Amino acid sequence: MTKIRKIQLNERDMPKQWYNIQADMPNPLLPLLHPGTKQPIQPGDLEALFPMALIQQEVSTERFIDIPDEVLDLYRLYRPTPVHRAYNLEKMLDTPAKIYYKNESVSPPGSHKPNTAIPQAYYSYKEGVKKMTTETGAGQWGSALSFATNFFGIECKVFMVKVSYQQKPYRKSMMNLWNGSVIPSPSMETNAGRAFLAEDPECPGSLGIAISEAIEVAATNEDTKYSLGSVLNHVLLHQTIIGLETVKQLEMTGDFPDLIIGPFGGGSNFGGLSFPFLRYNFTEGKKTRCIAVESASCPKLTKGKFEYDFGDTAGMTPLIPMYTLGHKFIPPAIHAGGLRYHGAGAIVSQLLKDKLIEARSVDQTESFEAAVTFARAEGMIPAPETSHAIAQVIKEAMIAKEEGIAKTILFNFSGHGLLDMGAYDEYFAHNLKVQ
């Protein structure tokens, strides 16, 4: 019998709506608080930073939200993405588990990030925005927003965390290719950046610092809007295209996941895959376990506190109810730059607080060991962020072997590692720190 390694959807079967998990969550989210008054924030308070269409999505509790035709058209450059059955990895691990992964690395920037970059650029364009600014860690998000804004003729300025700027030079080249300008953060271009450099001239940067710089530029220029690649509700909404496609693809196999695993920085790829499946837990009594896997060097879900905190280091964003290590936290300079964020999005934080999802942490060495195992089995080279999920997948597959239970495991292959080969060189030279 022929093995079907890839489960494909036709373009005509691509979902036409995003799924909003807020409609089905048992407990509603706590409100965002204004950074000055500490009172619940009003939609108008966010207009300086975001287009109104995105603000409306941020606070919406509608179950499904239509995807604009113009966004669907650009999605079709790379969507629907395939689901793969990892037969070779199953054989290598000698596990009874079935392992599937959703391959988001096939987008032009090489990750899931365009799923929200495209609609954010589109809604900004529709409201006449000429310039957008953002932050990026490892560069996947900055690449995606540069890619998206290029289609709409919008200028894009990206503040890239300095340690990642130095580790991943070709991410800068990719952003430049799509007309994005890239500044290592902290920088001398903003008051926030200058303050951080005055305090520590050798500061490696963090996503929180880069967010502060990007927000400052947007807030002080009327022609500029800010864009965030994770954490916020509208970002996770856009990413549900991942899980919605996967539901249809697994229906074609007759399987349904017992376990869903995703790497976790702020929540975008984990939520994008898991939320459409969690809907079945909430509405049909399914028991799918969902595990967010973070870096052991930045363990906000496993060691942080649930409290109101700023999304940036300088304290310019609204206060978000989140699991956090504190907005002043500066993580070690690991290669998984997309996981170096101090806090978690409000939706994921609420789900974890309510014990509706789980969290695990993986250190840098273990993640690279898993990445090498996966690459030698399946041939595909994972990004360092993705490798954290793979490490947990391998653990769960071995538990299934010990228990003799044929579980179905699904994970998000959120990005490829073809621009991270310097990190793999360090791993093979035994120069990587555990962290």
- State how far the Cα of 213 lies from the Cα of 191, in Å rounded to an integer: 8
Q: How confident is the model at residue 393 (pLDDT cuts 50, 70, 90)?
A: very high
DSSP class per residue in 379-431: ---B-HHHHHHHHHHHHHHHHHHHHT---EEEEEE-BB-TT-HHHHHHHHTT-
Rounded mean pLDDT, 5-27: 96
Reduced to 3 states (helix: H, G, I; strand: E, B; else coil), residue 89 is helix
pLDDT tens readout for residues 89-129:
999 999 999 999 999 999 999 999 999 999 999 999 999 99
pLDDT tens readout for residues 281-326:
999 999 999 999 999 999 999 999 999 999 888 888 889 999 999 9
Query: What is the structure's pLDDT at 44?
Result: 85
Q: Beta 64-66 vs 319-324: how paired, if at all?
A: unpaired
Two tokens, residue 271: 């939520």
Query: What is the structure's pLDDT at 431?
Result: 86
Rounded mean pLDDT, 51-78: 96
Give exposure, 42-58, as e/b (b: 16+ Cβ within 10 Å): eeebbeebbbebbbebb
Cα dist from 317 to 32, 49, 230, 312, 402, whole Å: 10, 10, 14, 6, 47
Q: Beta 98-103 vs 83-85: how paired, if at all?
A: antiparallel
Two tokens, residue 238: 């856009």
Query: What is the structure's pLDDT at 311?
Result: 86
Query: What is the structure's pLDDT at 435?
Result: 64
Query: What is the structure's pLDDT at 339?
Result: 82
Q: How confident is the model at residue 42 (pLDDT cuts 50, 70, 90)?
A: confident
Q: Which amino acid is at 195?
A: A
- State how far the Cα of 127 lies from the Cα of 54, in Å rounded to an integer: 11
Domains of the chain plus CATH, in order, are 6-13+72-110+234-428 (3.40.50.1100), 48-66+112-231 (3.40.50.1100)
